[in-house]
Every structure is written in structure tokens, then in C-alpha cells.
Amino acid sequence: SFLSMAQNGVVSSHDVISPVSQTRTEPQPPSSAPAPPAQPPRDQWGGKYEFLLSCIGYCVGLGNVWRFPYLCYRNGGGVFLIPYFIMLFFTGMPLFLMELSLGQYGAAGPITVWKCCPLLKGIGIGMLCVSILVCLYYNVIIAWTFYYLGSSFQSPLPWSCDALHNIPLCRNKTNVTQSPSEVFWNEKVLGVVYSKGLHDPGPVRWPLALCLLAAWVVIFLCMLKGIRSSGKVVYVTATFPYFVLLVLIIRGATLEGSLNGVAFYLTPNWAHLANAQVWNDAASQIFYSLGIGVGGLLSMASYNKFDNNVIRDTLIITIGNCGTSFFAGFAIFSILGHMAWRKGVPVGQVADSGPGLAFVAYPEALALLPGSVFWSILFFLMLFMLGVDTLFGNMEGICTAVMDEFPQLRSNLKHKTLFLALLCFAFYLMGLLLITDGGIYWFTLIDSFSTSFGLIIITLFMCIGISFFYGVNQFCQDIVDMICHCPPWCTKLLFYFKACWVVFTPFLLTFILTYIFIEMYRTSLHYGTYVYPTWGKALGVCMGAFCCLQILIWAIVAVSKESGTLRDRFQKSIRPLNSWRVNNINTTTQDQHVEPQRVDGPFTVNLTEADFTSMNWEAISEA
């Protein structure tokens, strides 16, 4: 009977009477329990291309341009692609699909979605903490880009040897320790030469403060109407970088020495495969590039239609993202090869990664080209588009998480606008520390630890929690329920993803985590020649620990809210709440004018203690 099945905790999809058939049965007596408050309507993407472009823009960021090519040449050239794609297929893709599926099925942000397993709510809080740290320093990069973009309208470029103030520096080739582009970056932009270290931030650099303000104003305006506005902006911001990369590749191919740069980028060195650092770099680049574990993917997927094919989207976005990284390497190293040829030095001496590539080496290479002003403007416009797209995803993760917890913000445009304005202004004020004379030291600290071991621990617990607490079979069934007409290839791929979620992905994440801890203990953190003090490194460790400790804190809260023995409390805290799947049920049944309390197949319903209490109360009242 229905009651005996309910006591077992689960009702299968075949045992639930559909709403259509219920219309012919006798009307049920109204429940004494109060009806749940109506939730404000949730936005949806204007079309599937908006979601795809938003995810591609979010994933294809600065890491594809300034980090992957450098890692590729440093770790054995073309050989690096072997561990890179292994990590993509066994960690990147499975975790990417897990986040998209969880967000789309639950139609909720990174905190509220854990109604599926309240014990793991801390994972969502941890994602929120990581996302806040990333947003804090990521927009500083966009501020630097604005500064360089404005400087690119000068002719000659202020970091080129043609500029009058750089002529003595360029002529004195015997005692030169820094190139004009390095002097411009360190003295004019950062002001790092005026700071002694982490303990001496110095004054705010007001030109950068104005650029940072402009960057946050742009983010605010683009996100003012949520996905309805950012979903339209990505048509430009997600596609323009591909146009620029193509133009840079074509231009680079015509330059003398470009083939030397490309050969340096791809020449294989098979001995590197035995080095654990290579495998760790491959895994970290997958995480860095795909944006896994910070809540952005989960939030964007929560605005999808319920029947969107998440498996197809996962394949398109992840393979497209990694292809872009490989593609960008040709644009970078063809022009760096030309600069090395002009200077008469090996390519390895001019290659760099991170800000050193984007704001020192590559601008210097562009300054050597005819029409350098045009190429510089084009390059920094591309960096701006890449950065803004990624920041959209991170900010969407924060906003969705907060508005799901406080739905009244979503229904009131005035309150939502005020919240977004206050959030952007708070980030701006906190970001001022990163644009002082010593701001680059704080930037490097947050960059190094915000997406380090804390992020790996969060994704590891997400993978284990969904696989073993929520149930990997149930999760796969949820995906099949979403993809109504699941093609045979989708079903076969699900077996592969199931094996990854249960075995391969947790194992590889544990390996990465172990290696990170070993390296953290053995090596010191430094920026250039400056070595961070012990208290600075400890501060970074505390940042990462604060993010992942949310899992433990909120798990204790979830268990303490339940009653019974410790085992009973644990079992109750891993049951889905009654409100789990309600959004999707309402979405799929609204065309049939069915009351929200009714449950439409083929969804499974997990009943909790509250449901049994309600049944007993109704039985007593009828008696």
C-alpha cells in the first residue's frame, strides 16, 4: 500500500498518481497544514544559445590566454595535452555535468539547492565564500585592463622604445635590468617599487581606483536585470575574443620568427610525463579554466528549462573551452617568437604567464609591430571581454545564492537594484587594498589561496555527497527525467559519468589535494624577488580553510536540528526536504493548471518525518 511504501521513505515514480488521472477521483479533504507561501517567478534564459554563450564566456577567461600556453611549454610542450585531457575527461567533465545537473534539476542557487541533502548545505556556503574572494581580485584585473586600454590610445605606446621617456632606457643595453614595459608595469601602473611588502601597502593609486570604479559600474549595469540583461551582453562579450584571437593568429603567422615561437610551444618532451607537477598543473588548469566549484555554473544552470539536455551542453562547453586554450597558444607564441627573433634571444627568455604575460611580455611584443596602437587596443579589448564574462558568472553565483535565500529581493526590482548596488560598492571598497602600492602582494596572496586546497575540498565533498548520500543512481535518474527523450548515446555516457563520480574523480581529487598540501609545506610563496613572510602565508591558508570549514560547520548545524540518536539525526539530515523539486514540478505542470501540492510523475518523492506527522494528525482529526 501507499502508506507502507511511505514508511520506507521513498515512493517510486510509478506509484505516484498523475494529476490528469486525479481529476476523475473523489476530491480529497483539505489538509490542516498551511499552504506554503507562493514563490516569486524565476527568470529563465531567453534561449538555449544565451545559456551556452554565458557558460562559454564564463569558462573561457583570462586563464585560457595567459596561463595555459605557459603551462604547455613549461610542462613538455605537446606532451602536456595528455595529462590535460585525462584530467578533463575524469575530473573536469564529470564535475561540470554534476554542477549543471544539480542547478537545473533543483532550479536553485548554490545554497538553496542543497535541500536535496541538508547535511551538505555548507558546500553551498563554501562556494559562496570562494566566489566572493574571486570577485574581489578578479575585477582588479579588469581595472588594469582599463588602464592599459586607455594608455593604448597614445602614439607611440608609453611602454615602447619609441616613447621619448624610454629612449635612454632602450639605448643603454649594457646595464639594463628592466625593459620599458616592465618599468611601465611596476612603476606607472602598480607602484610596487614604492612598497616594501605585504605589511606596507602604501597609498591608493587613484588612476587605478577610477578604473576599478568604472569596472564595477559596468558589471552593475550589465547585471541590473539579471540574466535578461547579461544574457544579451554575452552575444558580444563571448564571441568577440574569438575574432581577436583569429586576427592575432593570422597577423602572427606573417611575422618573422613566429614559427620558432610555435615550435617552442608544442615541441614534445616525453620525460615530463613522469613528473607529478605536470599532472597537478593539468588538474589546476582544468579547475581554473572551467570555473568548477564556485557556484557560477550551478546558478546559471538553475535558470534553464527543466528539459534542457545538460549532457550535450557539458560536451560542447568543456571541449570548446579546452580547444580555445590550445587555439590561444598559437596567438600568444607566434608573436612572442617574433619578439625573441627581434631581440636575438631564445623564446624562453621572453615567455611568461599570468599578469607578466598579459601586461608585460605581450604588450612589449605588440609595440614592435607596425600599427602597434591598433593591435594594443584590440588585445586589451579582448582581455576586458574575457574578464567581464567570467565575472558575470561569479557575480551571478553570489546574487542567485542570496536571492534564493531571500526571495523578496527577486520580486521587488527596487530592492534587487539596491542590493546589487550595495554589493558592487562593497566589493569596490574592499578592492581598494589591491590597488595600493603594495596591492599586488595582496592580489597574489588571494589569487594563490582562494582557488587552492579549499576549492578542491569543496568539489571533493560535492562529488562524494551526491554520489553516496543523495545517491548516484537517484542522481542519474534525475538527469534522465530532465532529458525526456534521452538519446542512446546519452544513456551510455551516463554509465561513464557514474563510474567517474563514484571512483575516478574522488581518487584524482584526493591525489591533487595531497600534492597541494605537500607543495604548500615545501615551497614558499613569492612575487618576483619578494618572499612572503610566514604570517602572510598563514593568512592565505586561513582564507582557504575558512571556505572549506563551512562544510563541517553547517553539517553540525543540520545534525543538531534533528532529533533522536546520532545515527538517526545523520540519516534524517541526508534526506531531501519536502520542498525539493517543487520548482520543477510547478514548472512542468503549470500548463495543466494543477495545484502546487500535487506531484506529477515521473519524479520521485522522498518523505520525511514531517509528512508522517501530518498523516497521523489528519487521521486523528477525521476520527
389 is in an annotated binding site: yes
92 is in an annotated binding site: no
Grid cell, residue 81, equals 595535452
**CA gap 100, 311 in Å, rounded:** 9
321 is in an annotated binding site: yes
Which residue has cell 490528469?
A: 20
Judge contact between 463 and 98, C-beta under 8 A: yes
60 is in an annotated binding site: yes
Residue 121: exposure state from Cβ atoms within 10 A (0-12, 13-18, ≥19)? buried
Other CB atoms within a 10 A radius of the CB of residue 243 amount to: 12
**CA gap 240, 381 in Å, rounded:** 9
Name 321's bridge partners: none
Contacts of 254 (CB under 8 A, 6+ apart): none
Radius of gyration of the chain (CA): 27
Residue 75: exposure state from Cβ atoms within 10 A (0-12, 13-18, ≥19)? buried
Judge contact between 215 and 392, C-beta under 8 A: no
Helix, strand or coil, per DSSP, at residue 261: helix
307 is in an annotated binding site: no
Helix, strand or coil, per DSSP, at residue 405: helix
Question: Which residue blocks in 465-533 are alpha helix, DSSP H?
Answer: 472-482, 488-499, 505-522
Query: Is residue 373 within a helix (H) or strand (E), and if so which, with residue range?
Result: helix 372-405
Number of helices and strands in the chain (H, E) = 31, 4
478 is in an annotated binding site: no
**CA gap 288, 293 in Å, rounded:** 10
In single-letter form, the type of residue at position 7 comes to Q
**CA gap 83, 273 in Å, rounded:** 8
Judge contact between 224 and 306, C-beta under 8 A: no
Judge contact between 578 and 488, C-beta under 8 A: no
Would you list which residues are annotated within the binding site?
57, 60, 64, 289, 321, 386, 389
**Which residues are annotated binding-site positions for Na(+)?**
57, 60, 64, 289, 321, 386, 389
